[in-house]
Amino acid sequence: MSEGSTHAKPYIRVAAGLILKADGQLLLGQRPVGKPWEGWWELPGGKIEADETVLQALARELHEELGIAVTHSTRWVTYIHEYPKTIVELNFCRVTAWEGEPHGRENQALAWVDPTQDLTVGPVLPATEPPLRWLRLPDHYLLTQLRSPEQLASGLAQLEQRLASGVRMVQFRERDWPEGPSADSLYEAFCQVLALCRRYQACCLVNSRHPIEWAQQADGLHLRSTDVPAAHTWAQSPGLLGVSVHNSGQLRAAQSLEPDFMVLGHVLETPSHPGKPPLGWEAFSQLAETAGCPVYAIGGQSDATFATAQSHGAHGIAGIRQL
């Protein structure tokens, strides 16, 4: 979005709800006749009043539009979209519990859709397309830690157990693999990890400490924060792009790459960062709100912290030991 084009357009803040059933079905509504973009499909929601928080506005709008009472919702991604006549700040929130049956109180059509498949309705508003794409990201992101050729067999067995239990996105990152004669075996280890991910229909991304060609074999690339400044000089990598960030400066630099997601931390104390103070949940939440894409929390994360992470705006959690 060009900065010079923004000052003349109204800036509108909106709360938009991703109303999700337990099976992943998502509710979309069709804009009624007589409204701008009539006939297009969108996520339900509406304008945030000056005296409302995002979640308060969302609950009010969903009651007015759909006749439901929200009982559990969390903030997710704040995304700015520029339309021809307006700039809209969309505060996307996940709604996972409510009372009542959604129905169109403004005579709008409603449809439950599977966001992982081609939609059965359309067209959708341009600003609705990114969250539909983001919903395809798993909520757990596992980083490998195979360590050495001698530990490869046991490491692959542990990885397969985690894939069998439901992990659907893996980052191949082996920073402890020994140099020298063992280095050549690292590519073989990567191929075995990739084969396991393929078997369980899981995505495999390659950390940027490894050759870029490996990422082109896999499902995407994950950039270290130190590699972001030079990322524009690399060959375009197909598939997903993830970026690790640790502070506001790195987050802003990562935004220029328009990644599919970021990994932010470390949030809690972790053995991999001895003596370094963690961000904590409040700082994580403030940074995640400015990312413009889904953010995974990393550092001390496990199933025990998953709900807390999502309540602070995380898409999900990332890690090694506890995942």
Q: What is 136-176 written as a DSSP string?
A: TS-SEEEEP---SGGGHHHHHHHHHHHHHTT--EEEE--TT
- Gap between the Cα atoms of 256 and 136, Å rounded: 22
- Gap between the Cα atoms of 10 and 287, Å rounded: 25
The distance between the two most distant Cα atoms of the chain, rounded to a whole number of Å, is: 70
Total number of residues shown for the chain: 323
Which of 247, 253, 252, 201 shows the shortest CA–CA distance to 231?
Answer: 253
Which of 13, 4, 16, 12 shows the shortest CA–CA distance to 85?
Answer: 12
Q: Which CATH superfamily is domain 140-319 in?
A: Aldolase class I (3.20.20.70)
- Gap between the Cα atoms of 310 and 306, Å rounded: 6
**How would residue 235 be classed by pLDDT, with cut points 50, 70 and 90?**
low
Q: CB under 8 Å to 50, separation ≥6 — which residues?
A: none
Predicted confidence (pLDDT) per residue in 11-65, tens digit: 999 999 999 999 999 999 999 988 889 999 999 999 999 999 999 999 999 999 9
Classify domain 3-132 at the CATH class level.
alpha beta
Q: CA separation (Å) from 57 to 10, 54, 76, 106, 292?
A: 19, 5, 15, 18, 20
- Gap between the Cα atoms of 218 and 51, Å rounded: 48
Please tell me the predicted confidence (pLDDT) of residue 2.
37
Domain positions in the chain: 3-132, 140-319
Q: What is the Rg, in whole angstroms, of the alpha carbon atoms belonging to the chain?
A: 21
Which of 174, 154, 270, 255 shows the shortest CA–CA distance to 214?
Answer: 174
Predicted confidence (pLDDT) per residue in 200-218, tens digit: 999 999 999 999 999 999 9
User: Can you read off the two tokens belonging to residue 287?
Assistant: 């940074």
Which of 50, 55, 135, 52 shows the shortest CA–CA distance to 93?
Answer: 55
> Out of 43-52, 195-204, 232-241, which region has the weakest mean confidence (pLDDT)?
232-241
Same fold yes or no, 3-132 and 140-319: no
Q: List phi, psi (to 5°) of 134.
A: -65, -30
- Gap between the Cα atoms of 132 and 135, Å rounded: 5
- Gap between the Cα atoms of 12 and 80, Å rounded: 10
What average pLDDT is seen over the chain? 93
pTM surpassing 0.85?
yes
Please tell me the predicted confidence (pLDDT) of residue 234.
67
**How would residue 272 be classed by pLDDT, with cut points 50, 70 and 90?**
confident
Q: Is 151 helix (H, G, I), strand (E, B) or coil?
A: helix
Sort 264 into a burial class: Cβ within 10 Å, 0-12 / 13-18 / 19+.
buried
> Out of 2-6, 118-122, 169-173, which region has the weakest mean confidence (pLDDT)?
2-6
- Gap between the Cα atoms of 323 and 301, Å rounded: 8
Give me the residue label for tokens 């009982």.
71
Q: CB under 8 Å to 132, separation ≥6 — which residues?
A: 26, 115, 119, 124
**How would residue 5 be classed by pLDDT, with cut points 50, 70 and 90?**
very low
Inter-residue contact 281 to 267 (CB < 8 Å) = yes
